[in-house]
Structure 1
Amino acid sequence: MSFNNLDQLYRQVIMDHYKNPRNKGSLEDGTLTIDMNNPTCGDRIHLTMNVENGVVKDAKFDGDGCSISMASASMMTQIIKGKKIEVAMKMSAIFSDMMQGKDYDDSIDLGDLEALQGVAKFPARIKCATLPWKAMEKGVKES
């Protein structure tokens, strides 16, 4: 597959998650609730997670923002469900490295999140993509 076709596929994945977000909403019985925003661009996220015995049983998000931040939140909530907190935190570190254009540990499949790789070329958008992950990290650290 050529670079242009791959780039187009990644754009389609991002727009699909933006227009048809997975796990949008709020958990009434969430054990973690985190609100964060990116004052630079106005993106904001409300993340709720239900964590039991160190495992993310469910995760939902709400908020407003650009296609990158909302798609990232949709992808993140999908991939961390059913994972141990330690694995979710490792995924966050891997995603952060990927966003910064660093070599990253590919031992964990990031699924649709790999569609956001191109964001590394746009430093101003990295905070958009990482906002949901920073919210998840904050919630875990504060719990």
Structure 2
Amino acid sequence: MSSNNLDTLYRQVIMDHYKNPRNKGALEDGSLIIDMNNPTCGDRIRLTLKVEDGKVTDAKFDGEGCSISMSSASMMTQAIKGKDIETALKFSRIFSDMIQGKEYDDEGLDLGDIEALQGVSKFPARIKCATLAWKAMEKGLNDK
């Protein structure tokens, strides 16, 4: 597939997550609640995580922001649901390297739609947008 076609496909995946977000909303029943914002561009997120027996059993987000931040939140919640805390944090480390344009090892994890965001590395001003939900997840799981 040519680079142009791949860029188009990635844009379509990002826009699909933006227009049809997965796991949008809030969890009740004693879930972790993490609020974060990106004052640079006005993105804000409220991430709710349900963690039981060392595993993220559910994840939802709400907020507002650009297509990159909201798509990334949608992709992140899909990636970590059902994963143990260590794996969720591993996803975050891999994502951080990928989004900064560094070499990364997927460590055998299926990154799925997350790879559509790797092009953001070419736009340094947008990296904070893409990492907002991931930073919220790290904060919640590390503070647990």
Q: TM-score, normalised by structure 1?
A: 0.98
Query: In 2, are the aligned partners of 1:50 and 1:59 still within 8 Å (CA)?
Result: yes
Taking the aligned partners of 2:24 and 2:30, their CA distance within structure 1 comes to 14
Unaligned runs of 5+ in 2: none
4+ long deviations beyond 4 Å: none
Query: In 2, are the aligned partners of 1:49 and 1:59 still within 8 Å (CA)?
Result: yes
CA RMSD of aligned residues (A): 0.7
Query: In 2, are the aligned partners of 1:30 and 1:48 still within 8 Å (CA)?
Result: no
Taking the aligned partners of 1:11 and 1:141, their CA distance within structure 2 comes to 32
Q: Which amino acid aligns with 1:60?
A: K
* Residue in 1 that maps onto 2:62: 62
* Residue in 2 that maps onto 1:17: 17
* Residue in 1 that maps onto 2:27: 27
SS in structure 1 of the partner of residue 128 of structure 2: helix
Q: TM-score, normalised by structure 2?
A: 0.98
Count of paired positions: 143
For residues 76-119 of structure 1, give each alpha carbon's deviation from its aligned partner in whole angstroms, at most 9, with x where no partner exists: 00110000000000100000000110000122121100000000
Q: Does residue 120 of structure 1 match 2:121?
A: yes
Q: Identity over the aligned pairs, expressed in percent?
A: 79
Query: In 2, are the aligned partners of 1:30 and 1:49 still within 8 Å (CA)?
Result: no
Shift of 1:140: 1.0
* Residue in 2 that maps onto 1:50: 50
SS in structure 1 of the partner of residue 57 of structure 2: strand
Taking the aligned partners of 2:116 and 2:100, their CA distance within structure 1 comes to 14
Which stretch shifts more, 105-114 or 122-131?
105-114
* Residue in 1 that maps onto 2:89: 89
Unaligned runs of 5+ in 1: none
